[in-house]
Amino acid sequence: MADLNTKYQKLATEYAKLRSQVGVLKKGVLEEQEKNQQLTDLIHERDTQLRKHESEMEGVLFRNQQLTKRVNVLQDEIDGFQVKSKSKKRNGSQNRDEAERVINEELVSKITENARLHATLDDIEKQYENTILSLQNRVQDLEKEKSLLGNAQKNKEEELSDTVSIIEREKDELRSRVTNLERDLALR
pLDDT digits (tens, 9 = 90+) for 55-66: 888 888 888 788
Q: What is the pTM of this model?
A: 0.39
User: Which domains, from first to last, does the chain contain?
Assistant: 2-171 (1.10.287)
pLDDT at 94: 67
Query: Which residue type occupies 79?
Result: D
What does pLDDT average to over the chain?
80
Instruction: Write out pLDDT tens, residues 64-94.
Output: 788 888 878 877 877 777 666 665 544 456 6
Using CA atoms, how far apart are residues 61 and 124, in angstroms rounded to an integer?
12
Per-residue pLDDT of 84-142, as tens digits, reads: 666 554 445 666 777 788 888 888 888 888 888 888 888 888 888 888 888 888 888 88
- What CA–CA distance (Å, rounded) separates 11 from 22? 16
Q: Per residue in 47-74, is it b (16+ CB within 10 Å) or e — as a string? A: eeeeeeeeeeeeebeeebeebeeebeeb
Beta strands in 15-131 (DSSP E): none
Of 184, 185, 160, 122, nearest in space to 18 by CA: 160
What is the pLDDT confidence band of residue 15, given thresholds at 50, 70 and 90?
confident
